[in-house]
Structure 1
Amino acid sequence: MSHFPDLVIANGTVVNSFGRQAAHVVVDGGRIVELVDAAEPIPSAARTIEAHGQLVIPGGIDGHCHVAQVTGRFRTLDDYRTTSTAALWGGTTTIIDFGIPRDAQETPLEAVLNKKRLATESRCDVALHGAVVSWDETVPWQLEQLAAEGVRSVKMYTTNRGSTMADGDTILKVMREMVRLDGLTYIHAEHNPIITDCTEQHASDGRIGIEHLHRTRPELAEEISVKETLAMAQYTGAPVYFVHQSTPGAVDLVAEARERGQEAYSETCPHYLTLDDTVYGSAFPEWYACCPPMRSAETVAALKDRLAAGAVHTVSSDHSCYDLSQKRERTDDVRYMPHGLPGVETRMPVTFTAIVTESGGAVEDFVEVFSAGPARINAVPRKGAIVEGFDADIVIFDPALQQTVDGGALHMGTDFSPFEGKTLSGWPAVVISAGRVVLDEAGFHDPGPVGRFVPRNGFTEHRDALSVPVIPSVESLSA
């Protein structure tokens, strides 16, 4: 008897970042094996999902998640089972977490290997970033070991002195190593002296509670740090990726650097596209404690303009799963409360609503920042597109369907959402991860701890294998 493929998604509109087509998507053995023109008969399969009138897109890649993260005396309340389940509910089929040393005793290599062990409970695929806080003579060897593990990016903070901050000497030296190892440097860019002084000034005036958070971390601090870091990247020749950019000025600095020939990338987050600093005057300002903070309505509008113009390369969640009891311990002093928002599950609908529903952008542009861009920039093989030979990570949804966010009904292991009460489009109806249907009209089907650790390619190796906007041969992308 001839073999039938595992699954066919029939009659959907397949949307990649580079275009769309009406097609039947054939899945077998966890991979996409064929795209058949929708005018042709539906191929036989063990299971057929009818997708007429719906969009079929590549599963999301969230390049910025913090899972089971320890920072000071606080630990996020999630684990890989929880976060990966929430990711799948939200149409994200690959998460990239950070191995950040929890204290001075944990090395960068130990932090990553610990996260890799924890990730064996994941329901979706996982990749990792490393992190360096301070330089010593072992760091080059550790970075070599990380590269051998398939961890090809390292994050550094330009603020948070005494916990996660790396000084300028460390950043410069790590950049050199990442060039040598064909890696990517991730930067949390906020100018520490400005933030420290501004925060101390507000504290001395008694204006240090959560309602003043946005005033303690000015836009200038972010933009000056981006400018300084770009100079170091230019000097070393290092590709650099800026996380959670919240201002158009920061994005413009990256765009100008790219015009000069630098490899530089801007990430923003759903909350910076949809929430403004008036939230700190709301009844529950602790729902919005994150760094950088929300900006003015004018800044938010200008940031959305940059996104529409293609100057923002990825939209990631910066998922950090604290609950309200943790947030409310020190709402009186932003220096001592945990910062970070849950968002891995809501990234898809918030981003789709911002780009497509509200701004009239193309679905292709949404796919670029939700999936294709994160895969390409982070050198994640076989992901970010619906093409033959790629992993069968697929989302099906009705773009006209709207739902209202209920934080208590989400699956992120916390008790709130910063998007509570917002009506959003772009919620996934069917999610397929590595060829398994994990979400459909019957609900969530827990696949168990089947998520794979994904070793990433070298940055320039992966970039040079691509031709944009045409997807190249599968062989060049799946190395």
Structure 2
Amino acid sequence: MKPDLVIADGLVVNASGTRNAHVVVDGRRVTAVVDASEPVPAAERVVDAAGRAVLPGGVDGHCHVAQVTGRYRTLDDFASTSTAALWGGTTTILDFGIPRDSSESPLEAARNKIELARESRCDVALHGAVVDWDDTVPAQLEELAALGVRSVKMYLTNRGTTIASNDTVLKVMREMVRLDGLTYIHAEHDALIVDCTDRRAAAGEIGIEHLHQTRPEIAEEASVRETLAMAEYTGAPVYFVHQSTPRAVDLVAEARARGLAIHSETCPHYLVLDDGVYSSKFPEWFACCPPMRCAATVAALRERYAAGSVHTVSSDHSCYDLTQKRVRADDIRQMPHGLPGVETRMPVAFTALAEASAGVPEPRVLERFAELFSTGPARINALPGKGIIAPGYDADLVLFDPAETRTVDGAALHMGTDFSPFEGKRLRGWPQVVVSGGKVVLDEDGFHDPGPAGRFLARLGYREAAALGDPQPVPLAAMKGA
């Protein structure tokens, strides 16, 4: 019988190397990767890649879908966010089950998100979250692990809403070691931020144009140092979300050199935007935490991103609109922070990498991008079947021309909001064809809605997966029709 699909004559890019090949897909899986010197295999459908790059489908390890924080709720749902993800070449997203307030437990928050994710067009995995420790938390974390939720996020700032105390962080780290999980950390030193913000407020400098002055680089770096001490003390693997300074990345690199299991994530906006945006006509477009940094910091972060010190690039997608942003733009303590970005992650991140890798052969740049965009997030988050183009892996594929450029038009995007922080930027690396779960969902004819075809993915344990190396393929016996 003919396989369902062949991607013919593409430059197949894995983090481990590139080759000219045909990719054969049957059901949800890649069944063969055939050298391009061989004839194109017969199939129900053949897509001519015509020498374009073929990458593993993107894995975005940091998305906030239908998120409630204080008085604000993001405007998206899983149907809209997963659709935007597919438009952007991302075929797997990881969301957070963050308690909306003290009335919702970590386990309830996660179960609620798993139920909402039934509408997703792409595959979904989940991080848990703990705000306050009590005697029920260990059992809740055990149940989360049994569900395949093997990581827990904690915020070290956001006093009055989601902040976790150091006592809570330490206790959760111990539990995650016991349960073979991964601790996710939003690292900003709350006392420094509160003091700095209060001083600015006393001087009447509390509008959005002053955001970058209220959350200094030292607050991020101090929090990273403190967290690393707790990680070393407990032996807990830790993943730092949205690192925005080169020194924060260096601290992680130094800890890894001492043998700690620590990972750095950055986000596209920290690679291409600087704090000059807060002096622009629309500073509310850039309300996020941490804020954008000075141009010199951005340049140094890009160097580390290109050199391999950063392990993943994630969107930190948070879908507020400008009405929500502007209602309290006069007071950054009262406005929602977070940027829409799941759809633009691929072109922004690729453009930043290509520009920071001048003189590096293009195949090496593409391999590094595959690692940041897909393979690294799949490996660190213990997602079997993701992040690699090879027999037995999920048929999640992205075709793009590294030389093609397009200009960001926020109104033409699909994220359920009315702006993009990258409006007007000329970017490379836009997806032209996207295959998710073996189905072509984006091609020259536009988007083909697969319906609620996304699966909730149970993850392996952190050290269990690390012992196996790269994300593992699905067993061959389970490939057909799985």
What CA deviation, in whole Å up to 9, does each residue of 1:56-102 have, x standing for no partner?
00000000000000000100000000000000000000000000000
Q: Does 1:454 align with 2:452?
A: no
Cα distance, 1:358 vs structure 2:
5.0
TM-score normalised by L of structure 2: 0.97
The 5 Å alignment of 1:211-360 reads 211-360=209-358
- How far apart are the structure 1 equivalents of 2:234 and 2:191? 24
Match of 1:388 among 388, 391, 398: 391
Matched residue SS, 2:456: coil
**Structure 2 match to 1:132:** 130
**Structure 1 match to 2:77:** 79
| Matched residue type, 1:306 | R
Match of 2:120 among 108, 119, 122: 122
**Structure 2 match to 1:414:** 417
Matched residue SS, 2:62: strand
| Matched residue type, 1:162 | G
| Matched residue type, 1:390 | Y
CA contact (8 A) 2:20 2:36 kept: yes
| Matched residue type, 1:401 | E
CA contact (8 A) 2:21 2:33 kept: yes
TM-score normalised by L of structure 1: 0.97
- How far apart are the structure 2 equivalents of 1:221 and 1:268? 16
What CA deviation, in whole Å up to 9, does each residue of 1:378-413 have, x standing for no partner?
001100010110000000111111100000000000
Cα distance, 1:53 vs structure 2:
1.9
**Structure 2 match to 1:54:** 52
Matched residue SS, 1:291: coil
- How far apart are the structure 2 equivalents of 1:370 and 1:243? 15
**Structure 1 match to 2:109:** 111
* 1:449–1:474 CA distance, 2 compared to 1 (3 A): closer
| Matched residue type, 1:224 | A
What CA deviation, in whole Å up to 9, does each residue of 1:208-229 have, x standing for no partner?
0000000000000000000000
**Structure 1 match to 2:86:** 88
- How far apart are the structure 1 equivalents of 2:308 and 2:474? 26
- How far apart are the structure 2 equivalents of 1:315 and 1:265? 11
CA contact (8 A) 1:357 1:425 kept: no
Q: Does 1:370 align with 2:373?
A: yes
The 5 Å alignment of 1:155-170 reads 155-170=153-168
The count of corresponding residues between Structure 1 and Structure 2 is 473
Q: Does 1:445 align with 2:443?
A: no
CA contact (8 A) 2:306 2:356 kept: no
Matched residue SS, 2:327: helix
* 1:474–1:79 CA distance, 2 compared to 1 (3 A): closer
- How far apart are the structure 1 equivalents of 2:242 and 2:283? 20
Gaps of 5+ in 2: none
* 1:259–1:52 CA distance, 2 compared to 1 (3 A): same
Cα distance, 1:356 vs structure 2:
1.6
Match of 1:37 among 21, 35, 38: 35
- How far apart are the structure 1 equivalents of 2:26 and 2:55? 17
**Structure 2 match to 1:146:** 144
The 5 Å alignment of 1:180-199 reads 180-199=178-197
Matched residue SS, 1:428: coil
- How far apart are the structure 2 equivalents of 1:354 and 1:316? 13
- How far apart are the structure 1 equivalents of 2:230 and 2:303? 28
| Matched residue type, 1:433 | S
User: Which consecutive segments of 4 or more residues in structure 1 shift more than 6 A?
Assistant: none
Matched residue SS, 1:160: coil
What CA deviation, in whole Å up to 9, does each residue of 1:217-275 have, x standing for no partner?
00000000000000000000000000000000100000000000000000000000000
- How far apart are the structure 1 equivalents of 2:437 and 2:301? 34
The 5 Å alignment of 1:4-43 reads 4-43=2-41
CA contact (8 A) 2:302 2:356 kept: no
CA contact (8 A) 2:391 2:473 kept: no
Cα distance, 1:309 vs structure 2:
1.4
The Cα RMSD (Å) is 1.3
**Structure 1 match to 2:433:** 430
Matched residue SS, 2:211: helix
Matched residue SS, 1:364: helix
* 1:357–1:247 CA distance, 2 compared to 1 (3 A): closer
- How far apart are the structure 2 equivalents of 1:290 and 1:258? 28
CA contact (8 A) 2:392 2:473 kept: no
- How far apart are the structure 2 equivalents of 1:139 and 1:216? 33
- How far apart are the structure 2 equivalents of 1:443 and 1:472? 32
Cα distance, 1:359 vs structure 2:
3.0
Residue identity over aligned pairs, in percent, reads 71
| Matched residue type, 2:200 | H
| Matched residue type, 1:227 | R
What CA deviation, in whole Å up to 9, does each residue of 1:416-442 have, x standing for no partner?
000000000000000000001000000
- How far apart are the structure 2 equivalents of 1:166 and 1:82? 30
CA contact (8 A) 2:10 2:49 kept: yes
Matched residue SS, 1:151: coil
CA contact (8 A) 1:327 1:337 kept: yes
- How far apart are the structure 2 equivalents of 1:449 and 1:473? 24
- How far apart are the structure 2 equivalents of 1:96 and 1:307? 21
Matched residue SS, 1:452: coil
- How far apart are the structure 2 equivalents of 1:64 and 1:399? 25
Matched residue SS, 1:32: strand
| Matched residue type, 2:265 | E
Gaps of 5+ in 1: none
- How far apart are the structure 2 equivalents of 1:400 and 1:24? 21
Cα distance, 1:473 vs structure 2:
7.0
